[in-house]
Structure formats: structure tokens, C-alpha cells
Amino acid sequence: MNIAMVSEHASPLAVLGGADAGGQNVHVAELSAALVRAGHRVRVFTRRDDARAPATQVMPTGVVVELLDAGPAAFVAKDDLWPLMGAFAQQLFQRLAADPADLVHAHFWMSASAAITAAQPLGIPVVHTFHALGSEKARMQGAADSSPAIRLAEEARIIRAVDRIVATSSSEIFELCRLGADPRRLKIVPCGVDVAVFDDRATTWRRDRRFPQRVVTLSRLVERKGVADVISALVDVPATELLIAGGPAERRLFADPDVRRLAAHAAACGVSDRVTFVGRVGREDVPSFLRSADVVVCAPWYEPFGIVPLEAMAAGRPVVATAVGGQNDTVLDGFTGTHVAPKEPRAIAHALRELLGDPKRRADLGAAGRERVHQRFSWDRIARETYGVYRTVVRAPAGEAAFTA
């Protein structure tokens, strides 16, 4: 198939760890790469945020990335992008008219809005993955929700307008049905993990000899990711260091307001000497970073899916995860990790003390997590399932017998 991915703010070329660069970037990049491995043509359309970048770039995986001019060729926070979506849709229409795709797979609500405008007049079906729903964000963040006012109404329109919706978790299916989606046009296909990069079990990330135990967390550092709750939990977990990865590069760390907020919180809790901010960790260093931990903590207040728990499981490490969103599907409580309630540092501390005090249980959970990831969450499997959705809206190319990944 000739597949057009649309990801207006989350480019597969982006450096991860910033305020708007995380799981969606990885999802788009890895899903696209797996589809290319299976013999499909994939172009990713994203907004230009660098005036010096070439309009078309080919990634080492064979995925083609096309930059669309919409607004300034500079970073714009995703919650400020809505006024630029008209120009983005116009550019997308022109590219698709000149080089049509068999279907468009849009990622995030603004991408879907642009895709509907650009693709449907050309007779191109649209498959959509929300990655996060505005209704849930509004419910969880309240007055702190900075989404455009039009988001909820636009998402309701998208639910009705697209040909299929790919949800990443069971909780998202429930939310979509509550919003009026037709269950017959919904399919769960989770996010995945590149199992190959975690197969080398060597650990190169240095351990601090002052602390016999290490806990790590890897995420964006915005408040809803719950990193402050992990710092609070450390008060009741003695002889343990906490490494926090995410945010800007190390040399610019303490210019970042989220890092300053979390550092001040660590000082108030009296654990500054056991908390280290490592800054942005490159994708190539994620496996060794996670393997250096005894336990990985993923403590968001809500999480549409969450790729880091899968990466921790692929690294053979047990996960303490808040029982929210997709983490309920990926981390099996008592089998690959431990579930805790969100916003409950004492529950995190209790789970950490139990795991850190039981090396055999940690090893058993880590081994089970690794096996689960290999069986269920490889990107080639995710691509096969996604392609199955595509086949419901596009006739198979002539002569095609099966998905080959």
C-alpha cells in the first residue's frame, strides 16, 4: 500500500524529551518503519519547525518525511497550533493531489482535522489514532487544561467523520463509546516497542556506589506525569537513589521550569542528595538507562497509553505503574509489575520497598515482562494488526497474498 501518515506536531525526526516530543513521535516513527519493512510505501507529513530543514527527508528506515509549511518555521507549542491547521490542510491536499495515497492514517486530533479536509475530497479514506482524548484531558486537568476551546467539538466531529479509529487501549475504547463512537468502526491496536534494541542485556550506565538500590523514571517532566509523586515516595524508601530522565539536554537542565520545580520539591522533601536529573536521554541510550535500574516507576496521573512501561519490560525490569489508561493493559499487576493509585506517593513507596526487598520477585517480574513484550508488543506485530485495519477500508493491492513482516 501507499500510506500517508499525518502527525502535525510529533515528527519522527524530533529529538525526544521536550514538552511536546514523546510517545507519539516514537509511535509514528516505529509503526512507519515496520510497515516499510513489510514492503509498503510510507510518507509522514508533519509541520515544518526548522527553516533550514529539507522539505523531504528519507530516514534510515526508508520512511519518507515531508515537511509542510504552516505558520512560522519554528517550534510552536501543540496547544497553539490550531490556527495553523487550515494552512497545514491546504498543503496536505496539494501533496496528496499530486501523489495520491491509498489511505491516510492521522495521529492526534488536529492531524485528523487536516486529514479529513485534505483527503476526503480526493476520495482517500482516513484512519485515525487519537493518542489522547480531549474529554479525558479536560476531566483530569480541569482549569490547567490548555487545549484549544474547539477541541472537544472537533473530536466529536472526527469520531463521526473518519473511516476507522485505532484505539491504543481498552480504556480509550470505553471513552470513545461514551462519546458516541460506533463500536463497529473501532479497533484496539496498542503501541509497541523495538524489542531488538533491548536484546543486548549489557548495562553500561554507571551505578553510584553510595546507593545499593536504584529507581529510575523516564518521561516528560510536566506535572501530570507524576514525577513529583515519585520524589515524595523516596522519603520512605531509604538507601535508594532516583534518576529522573527527561526534559532538555543536561547542560540546559536547570533553565527548565519543570526541572526547577522538581528540584525544589526534592529539596523540600529532604532527598536532594538522592535525586539526580540526567536530562534528555537519546533513544540509543534508553535500554542501558532502564537496565541500570532495580525498578522503573511510571506514575502519571492519567496516561492514554505509555510506551516507557513497555520499554522497561523489554529491558527485563519490573514496573511500578499507576493504574491508569493504557498502563492497565500493558503492566499486568502481580505478573510484570505492581499497580498503584495515581497521586499516591505512599502507595509508590510501599510498592518500591516490597520490590527492592525481594530480588527474586524483581527477577521474576522482569523476566515475565520481557516475555510479554516479545509475544505481544513487537512493532512488526503492531504493524500487522494496523494493516488489518487498513484492509477494512482499502482493497488489497493486486497480487497481494499476505502481510510479510
3 state SS for 196-251? HHHCCCCCCCCCCCCCCEEEEEECCCCHHHCHHHHHHHHCCCCCEEEEEECCCCHH
Same domain, 365 and 382: no
336: enclosing H helix or E strand? none
- 396 within a domain of the structure (yes/no): no
pLDDT at 405 over 80: no
Distance CA 153, CA 259 (A): 34
- 65 within a domain of the structure (yes/no): yes
User: What letter would DSSP give residue 294?
Assistant: S
Out of 194-203, 244-253, 349-358, give the one with best mean pLDDT: 349-358
Beta strands in 34-83 (DSSP E): 41-47, 56-58, 64-68
64-68 and 56-58: which strand pairing? Answer: antiparallel
Rg of the chain over all Cα atoms, to the nearest angstrom:
21
Same domain, 127 and 171: yes
Same domain, 209 and 304: yes
Same domain, 81 and 95: yes
- DSSP secondary structure string for all residues of 166-180: EESSHHHHHHHHHTT
pLDDT at 402 over 60: no
HSE value, Cβ hemisphere, 13 Å, CA-based, for 14: 30
Lowest-confidence range among 14-18, 157-161, 242-246, 297-301? 14-18
- 328 within a domain of the structure (yes/no): yes
Chain centroid to CA 326? 11
- 401 within a domain of the structure (yes/no): no
Residue 144 has φ and ψ, to the nearest 5°, of -80, -5
Same domain, 161 and 300: no
259 burial level (CB within 10 Å; 0-12, 13-18, 19+): buried
Q: Is 139 left (phi over 0), alpha (psi -120 to 50) or beta?
A: alpha
- 398 within a domain of the structure (yes/no): no
The contacts of residue 240 (CB under 8 Å, 6+ apart) are 211, 212, 213, 214, 215, 234, 274, 352, 356
Q: What is the per-residue pLDDT across 310-323, written as a single tens digit (0 to 9) for each?
A: 999 999 999 999 99
Distance CA 381, CA 385 (A): 6
pLDDT at 219 over 60: yes
The contacts of residue 163 (CB under 8 Å, 6+ apart) are 103, 125, 126, 127, 185, 393
Same domain, 202 and 59: no
User: Which tops the pLDDT comparison, 62 or 305?
Assistant: 62
Distance CA 232, CA 16 (A): 26
Question: Cell 516505529 appears where?
Answer: 30
Q: What is the per-residue pLDDT across 113-124, written as a single tens digit (0 to 9) for each?
A: 999 999 999 999
- 403 within a domain of the structure (yes/no): no
Tally of residues, the chain: 405
CATH number for the domain that contains residue 245: 3.40.50.2000
Q: What is the per-residue pLDDT across 268-288, written as a single tens digit (0 to 9) for each?
A: 999 999 999 999 988 889 999
For residue 404, how many other CB atoms are within 10 A of its CB?
Answer: 11
Same domain, 167 and 129: yes
Cβ(89)–Cβ(118) under 8 Å?
yes
Same domain, 21 and 134: yes
**Per-residue confidence at 14, pLDDT binned at 50, 70, 90?**
confident
Distance CA 149, CA 140 (A): 16
Out of 145-154, 187-196, 343-352, give the one with best mean pLDDT: 343-352
pLDDT at 20 over 50: no
Number of domains in the chain: 2
Same domain, 304 and 166: no
Same domain, 185 and 214: no
Same domain, 164 and 273: no
Domain hosting residue 310, numbered range: 195-376
Model-wide pTM > 0.75: yes
For range 288-317, the mean pLDDT: 94
Distance CA 358, CA 356 (A): 6
Q: What is the per-residue pLDDT across 72-122, written as a single tens digit (0 to 9) for each?
A: 999 999 999 999 999 999 999 999 999 999 999 999 999 999 999 999 999
- 337 within a domain of the structure (yes/no): yes
Q: In what order do the strands lie in the sheet with 164-167?
A: 56-58, 64-68, 41-47, 2-6, 103-107, 126-129, 164-167, 186-188
